[in-house]
Amino acid sequence: MWGSASPALAWLMALVAAGMLEITAGSDERSPWTTAGVILTEALLVIGLHWGFRSTGWSTRTARARLTWVLALALIPWGVELGVRMGLNAMWPLELILLAAFRNAVLALAVFAHEPASQRLGCVLSTFLVIFASALAADFWLQGLVMLFAILGVWWLMGSYWETLRGRLAASSEQGLPRKWAVLLPFVVLLCLLTLPAAGTQVRALRGFMPSSGGTEQFSEAARSGVGDGDALVAGTDNIRSFAPIEDAPFLSSHEPSLYDLFDDSYNEPVKVDQQERAIAIDKEFAHQQKEHHLAQSQIAGKQFSTIRQQGETSTAKIGNRKSDAVLYVSGRVPLHLKLQVFNLYDGIEWYPQPLANREMSLKMEMLHNRPWLRLPIAAGPDIYAAAETHALKIVRLNSNHIPAPTQLLGIHLDKVNQADMFEWAQPGVVRMDREKLPSQTVIHVQSRVVDPRRCDAGILNFDGRSVIYQQFGADPDSLKVRELAQEWTRGIHGDWPQVQAIVERLRRDYVLDGDARPPKDCRNTVADFLFRSRRGPDYQFASAAVYLVRSLGHSARLVSGFYADDRNFDIRSRHTPVFAVNVHFWAEVNTGSEHWIPIEPTPGYELLPPPPTLWRRLTDSAAAALAFVVRHPVACAALVLLVAVMGVLRRRLIDAVATLRWRWTGAADPRRYALQTAALLDRRFQRAGLARPVGHTHKRWLRALAQSAAGNDDALLEELTALFDWAGFAPAAVACPADDPISVCRNAERTWNWQRLTRIAELKRQSQRPRPKDRNRRSISLPILQPAQRTG
């Protein structure tokens, strides 16, 4: 059976692969009907050519020249593309040309699938074609075709192996492929499904690997979609996948909230405390600096942040419901903390933004791959960073000139902005553009690096004496209580960095994130109130507490506000993460000296961006995610496995039930045709039950043999039925039907030779062939019948 089934499977594999490519290639350009027509044409071509070549003997005569034909067909797309380019002044994407060459080779080999060498090569090329087509596919449902192809491929491989045994199989062995192994197929599908979580969360693109898929250096007018930061990414006019919902842009541009609107929307308006004594005194020098700073920077950043906010429902819920109101989009690894403002002074209620020092180093512009990059100066510091990586930010509706950027910012790139004086320092570590606000629909590329925790040793917080402003700490009783608490949390922990980690861990573990919690209006130290009384609060309370606790131990720390690009918002399809107004966030940074800051995240539910994972880490993460998926949905997974297993076990019965229903519904009115359909139905049923009618046996003979096995009393029906079958099969049209009511005879026969009865007969047959056991205690014996059976025991 497999000798003839393998070419059919090879055809199916080739057609599925070619179909995937046609659907992928035509997703944006052809109607579904046109695509279906193309696939049908290809199928008919393969079948027609196969039949024609075999019947004419051409396939055997030209065995040596076959490779030439396959190669010629594979080269056709290049010629056609050249013609299209010259004649119509249009281009085809390079990847589609390559895949079309693959498709032609696969279809050409499918024509000769009856020959083992062509069949094997065709199946291998089909596999590659499916992989590449699935990688380009925009429609998720196409992955179902991948699974179908996997099932066909598994079956083909098993059949191919079985072919090597055929002819040598012992007569007592089953000659067909072991059907029980068909239960393997659902597991292949299940394992594929388990990769879905990983397939949906991984974000990485190889930029510039192919001109027509976008890229950093080369680009093509024929690009189908953007990978990386090529022209397609910036333009994004034709394809929504290029970067952001451009179609929404005109509507969004009408409402561009300022940074402070966002904070107020998220945390409510600050409470106006006119005459209240601050718990923590700010040194005069700092206060003076602050005042000057306010005057100088009033237009841009110098606005303090009060930790006492009004009670009541925030605007978060209202904003959160408008998921398309993204402030910006992030392309790259997430979660990502995007810094907009830093605060260094704290008076118990308010955080004051850090003024710009006069000694900030100048910004320089340099060309990298013909693109202007603003290079930020890097002071010498500890080797605690992972490799640099780039994120692309598309600003949609942010009314600020601060450039959101990760902590350790290395460079900024805006297309065609090649003058360094377009940028300036806003605050230490924060860059802004020299204009009122960031241009809308602008893509900003930021290069940064994250801290690798594995490289951070215990003494990494090596204060160099310059950052005393980050150690500002009060001497009031509340502050002393905070210090005692910090000392208690870090008792027995040696080293600066482990102490900071211990504080962060305690905050994340023992305190509750509550966006509605507010300190009382008469509170004089919101950090102490958060730590000792309420033990719950919004993220800025966590960040403030973290900064204050760290400072109490003598380390340098500061408060940072900005956006949190939440990985839960990652859009698989567009591979971008929208950042909404609700994603404003506070966190903290600790200083290692020389303007090197390590972000810490004390708020539970928020995570820092880990270093780029290694391949092994990716695999283990994927495995863990798959396992977690199973653990999260144990009932569904178990039910699915159970369902598939039950369907696998009962497959023949189910198929028979479907075939019977079809026979009942579509039975012909003509008695002769109806009898033939019944004969075919019974034949297939016998085959499924393991009682296939041997070649050369008539229905009459076989039905009699089965009737004898079943010891049933249906001789009359048997006579009538076999006469009817003989008449339907062989009698000329002039001969009348031997049965009075052929329809009822057929239906009676279908009921008589039902599935239960046939399985009983098959079981009896198996029992009669079962060998005698040799060792009753441990083993059963199966004996061959090739020679006169040699029974042992």
Partner 1 sequence: MATLGERVSRLLNYDFCPSANRWVYWVKTPIASLSLAALSALACALFVKPIALIAFAAVLVVVVLGYVWPAIAIRGMSASLKFRQRRVDEGDVAIAVLQVVNRWPWPVWGLSLEEGFGQSPTLALAKVGGLSSAEFSWEFVPDCRGEYPQATPRLMTGFPFGLRHASRPVAVEQTILVWPEIVELDTLLDAAETRPSDDVFSEQRVGESGDMTGTRPFRQGDSLRRVHWAQTARTGRMIVCERQAPAQAAVRVVFDSDPRVHAGQGRNSSLEWSIRLAASVCAAYHREHSRVECCFGHETLPIEPGAAGWQRFLDRLARFQPCVERHHPGCDHEHTAADCRKIHHHNCGTFQVTITTDVGLAHRTEHRHVHGDQRLVVLETSGFDGDCRLCHHTHPAPSRRAIVINDAQHVAADFQRKWRQACHVG
The whole-angstrom separation of Cα 662 and Cα 644 is 23
Radius of gyration of the chain (CA): 37
175, 298, 462, 769: residue in contact with partner 1 (rule CB under 8 A): 175
Asked if 423 contacts 433 with a C-beta cutoff of 8 angstroms, the reply is yes
Cα-Cα-Cα-Cα dihedral sign, residues 19, 22, 26, 27:
positive
Q: Which of 88, 135, 711, 734 binds partner 1 (CB under 8 A)?
A: 135
Say if residues 336 and 348 touch (Cβ distance below 8 Å).
no
Nearer to partner 1, 195 or 216 (CB): 195
What part of residues 692-721 is at the interface with partner 1 (CB under 8 A)?
Answer: none
Cβ count within 10 A of residue 12: 20
**Cβ-contact 565, 338 below 8 angstroms:** yes
Residue 432 host element (H or E): strand 430-433
Minimum CB–partner distance for residue 758 and partner 1 (Å): 22
Min separation Cβ 165 and partner 1, Å = 4
CB 606 within 8 A of CB 562: no
User: Of residues 617-676, which lie at the interface with partner 1 (CB under 8 A)?
Assistant: 618, 622
- Residue 173 makes contact with partner 1 by CB under 8 A: yes
Q: Which of 96, 227, 431, 486 contacts partner 1 by CB under 8 A?
A: 227
* C-alpha distances out from residue 220 to 94, 214, 226, Å: 9, 7, 10
Report CA-CA distances (Å) from 502 to 368, 455, 489, 497, 514: 42, 17, 7, 9, 22
Please choose, out of 23-31, 119-127, 540-548, 656-664, the segment that lies near partner 1 by the rule CB under 8 A. 119-127
Beta bridge partners of 306: 350
Q: Report in angstroms how near the CB of residue 64 gets to partner 1 at its nearest.
A: 5
Q: Give the CB-side neighbour count of residue 138, counting CA atoms within 13 A.
A: 16
What single DSSP character describes residue 300?
A: T
Number of residues engaging partner 1 in binding (CB under 8 A): 80
Closest CB to partner 1 among 64 and 284? 64
Q: Is 201 in the site for partner 1 (CB under 8 A)?
A: yes
CA distances from 218 to 91, 214, 232, 484 (A): 16, 7, 11, 59
Q: Which is nearer to partner 1, 84 or 786 (CB)?
A: 786
What is the footprint of partner 1 within residues 589-618 (CB under 8 A)? Answer: 618
Span interacting with partner 1, options 178-186, 259-267, 454-462, 714-722, rule CB under 8 A: 178-186
Instruction: Quote the least distance from Cβ 652 to partner 1, whole Å.
Output: 18
Point out which span in 11-19, 138-146, 520-528, 749-757 binds partner 1 (CB under 8 A).
138-146
45, 131, 388, 639: which one binds partner 1 (CB under 8 A):
131
Considering beta carbons, is residue 220 or 499 the nearer one to partner 1?
Answer: 220
Q: Single out the residue of 34, 253, 769, 782 in contact with partner 1 (rule: CB under 8 A).
A: 782
Give 205 or 469: the residue with its C-beta nearer to partner 1: 205
CB of 76 to partner 1, least distance (A): 15
Residues 394-433 that bind partner 1 (CB under 8 A): none
Q: Are the CB atoms for 383 and 455 separated by under 8 Å?
A: yes
202: contact with partner 1 by CB under 8 A: yes
Beta-sheet pairing, 536-537 with 512-513: parallel
| Smallest distance, partner 1 to C-beta of residue 335, A | 17
Euclidean distance between CA atoms 527 and 535, whole angstroms: 10
DSSP state of 385: B
Q: Does 198 bind partner 1 (CB under 8 A)?
A: yes
- The nearest distance, CB 783 to partner 1, in angstroms, is 6
- Binding to partner 1 (CB under 8 A): which residues in 310-369? none
> Is residue 127 at the binding interface for partner 1, with CB under 8 A as the rule?
yes
Is 203 near partner 1 (CB under 8 A)? yes
Interface segment toward partner 1; rule CB under 8 A; list 185-193, 458-466, 530-538, 751-759: 185-193
Residue placing its CB nearer to partner 1 in the complex, 93 or 537:
93
Kindly state the smallest distance separating residue 650's Cβ from partner 1, in Å.
20
Of 767 and 787, CB closest to partner 1: 787
In degrees and rounded to multiples of 5, residue 47 shows phi and psi of: -65, -45
- Minimal distance, residue 65 CB to partner 1, in Å: 5
* Binding flags for partner 1, 371-390, as an x/- string (CB under 8 A): --------------------
| Cβ distance to partner 1 smaller for residue 102 or 540 | 102
Whole-Å CA distances, 133 to 99, 241, 506, 604, 658? 8, 17, 49, 41, 34
Rounded Cα distance between 438 and 419, Å, is 16
Nearest CB to partner 1, comparing residues 185 and 706: 185
H or E element: which one contains 584? strand 584-591
**Per-residue DSSP letters for 763-775?**
HHHHHHHPPPPSB
Q: Contacts with partner 1 in 553-572 (CB under 8 A)?
A: 572
Q: Whole-number minimum distance, CB 774 to partner 1, in Å?
A: 6
Q: How far apart are CA 108 and CA 32, in angstroms?
A: 24
Q: Which of residues 140-169 bind partner 1 (CB under 8 A)?
A: 140, 143, 146-147, 149-150, 153-154, 157-158, 160-162, 164-169
Span interacting with partner 1, options 127-135, 232-240, 598-606, 712-720, rule CB under 8 A: 127-135
Name the token pair of 223. Answer: 């690009």
The reply on whether position 209 binds partner 1 by CB under 8 A is yes
Q: For partner 1, which stretch binds (CB under 8 A), given 198-206, 399-407, 432-440, 542-550?
A: 198-206
How far apart (Å, rounded) are the C-alpha atoms in residues 213 and 485? Answer: 56
Judge contact between 707 and 718, C-beta under 8 A.
yes
Interface segment toward partner 1; rule CB under 8 A; list 80-88, 188-196, 389-397, 754-762 = 188-196
Q: What are the CA-CA distances from residue 319 to residues 341, 352, 606 (Å)?
A: 22, 27, 20
Q: Which residues of 384-395 are buried (b: 16+ CB within 10 A; e: fewer)?
A: bbbeebbbbbbb
Among positions 718-777, residues that touch partner 1 (CB under 8 A) are 771, 774-775
Residue 479, both tokens: 């502050």
Nearer to partner 1, 64 or 416 (CB): 64
Determine if 124 is a binding residue for partner 1 (CB under 8 A): yes
Full 3-state SS string of 717-736:
HHHHHHHHHHHHHHCCCCCC
Tokens matching residue 51: 């039949």
From candidates 45, 71, 639, 668, binder to partner 1 by CB under 8 A:
71
In degrees and rounded to multiples of 5, residue 139 shows phi and psi of -90, 130
527: its two tokens: 């950090």
